[in-house]
Amino acid sequence: MDLLLNSLIVICLITTFVILMLGLFHSARSGDNKDNKINLFMRYRVAIQFVSLLILTIALYYKT
């Protein structure tokens, strides 16, 4: 179970970082549809961060 929780935590953290970098990349580019994509990526990032916090909370509860 520890391996599963640790793997989920790492996957969530990497996914959050990748979505953050994609959002920053799209914000650096110029274009008309830029604002919609930036907001979309940041919404995804916030949702993934929420899932990451839930998994971290479950892991903390399980390990204590």
Phi–psi pair at 29, nearest 5 degrees: -80, 155
Structure tokens belonging to residue 9: 């935590």
Global pTM reads 0.75
* Nearby residues of 15 by Cβ (< 8 Å), 6 or more positions away: 48
Domains in the chain: boundaries? 2-63
pLDDT tens digit string along 5-62?
Answer: 889 889 988 998 998 898 888 878 766 665 677 788 888 889 998 998 999 899 889 8
